[in-house]
Amino acid sequence: MRSYDIVFPSTQGLNPSEEYFFFTLDGEQMKIHLHDYPTIYQYPWLYEAVLYERLGCDSPRGICQILQKLFAEQNVDTSSLQMLEIGAGSGIFAEHLKMTLHIGKIYGLDIHQEAKIAAYRERSGLYSGYYVADLTNLSTEAFAELSQQQFTFVGFASAAGRKNHILVEGIEQAWRFLEPNGWFLCHVGHARPNDPEQEYTHLNDWINRKIEHQQLTLMLKESCFHRYSTNGERIFHDVIVGVKTSSGEAREKLNYE
């Protein structure tokens, strides 16, 4: 892995969506927004250096540990699973899924071409395929292609929520590509009081409705350390895992108001 000169600002009280860092390369300093993924993915291993080495992101390891226990208890043959990993980025979560759980096939999906390039550059041979598509605005071709894949596992790490992350409409779209009896994994941040951005609340409401309407059988919900903020605060996310029921096929009208 490359070593980079990365400095975080001393500004206190930034919202997670406002965080940024300074990055110096060849004597030139750049200010990069922490969620400016297309820019970050252009530099080999920069995503891993900032989020994982400097901010201690532990979600891929933590989620895989939780899944490993659950799948063992449920006697899941992980090598037969065909997974759609949404918001896949440069592939760090898929790498853990392969190493720890030996998932048979993983297909990545991300809105940015730069993510696919980074995943194939940093982790060649990991994905069985990688779609570049906006889950909230899929083309007819992408929808048709994803629909015929028969995914038995759909999920994501650190990819839902606020600006530059997948909105609940996109999560609903991915849910449609999951086969009945397939596994669904959701990784969602804790909603903060008075937070102007309500995406985590919307996603939690969406999951609760799936459970109430018996479209999703909840198997596990566990809080897990995600990463440090640039101010050094500990951030936690929930890991939610369930199985899609046969009635989970029913289309539910989205209503967040």
Residues that bind ligand SAM (CB under 6 A): 37, 59-60, 86-89, 92-93, 109-112, 115, 134-136, 157-159, 164-166, 170
Integer-rounded Cα Rg, in Å, for the chain is 18
Three-state secondary-structure class, residue 91: coil
CB of 112 to ligand SAM, least distance (A): 5
Q: Which is nearer to ligand SAM, 35 or 209 (CB)?
A: 35
CB of 33 to ligand SAM, least distance (A): 12
Q: Which is nearer to ligand SAM, 155 or 248 (CB)?
A: 155
CB of 135 to ligand SAM, least distance (A): 4
Q: Which is nearer to ligand SAM, 23 or 93 (CB)?
A: 93
* Distant-in-sequence, close-in-space partners of 91: CB < 8 Å, separation ≥ 6: 108, 118, 119, 122, 123, 126, 127
CB of 195 to ligand SAM, least distance (A): 18
Q: How many angstroms separate the CA atoms of 168 and 121, rounded?
A: 29
Q: Which is nearer to ligand SAM, 135 or 185 (CB)?
A: 135
Q: How far are the Cα atoms of 128, 174, 197, 238 from residue 17, in angstroms, in the given order?
A: 32, 24, 9, 18
Which residue from 173, 85, 90 is spatially nearest to 136, judged by alpha carbons? 173
CA 76 to chain centre: 22
Q: Which is nearer to ligand SAM, 55 or 135 (CB)?
A: 135
Type of residue at 104: G
Which residue from 109, 107, 105, 67 is spatially nearest to 88, judged by alpha carbons? 109
CB of 24 to ligand SAM, least distance (A): 23
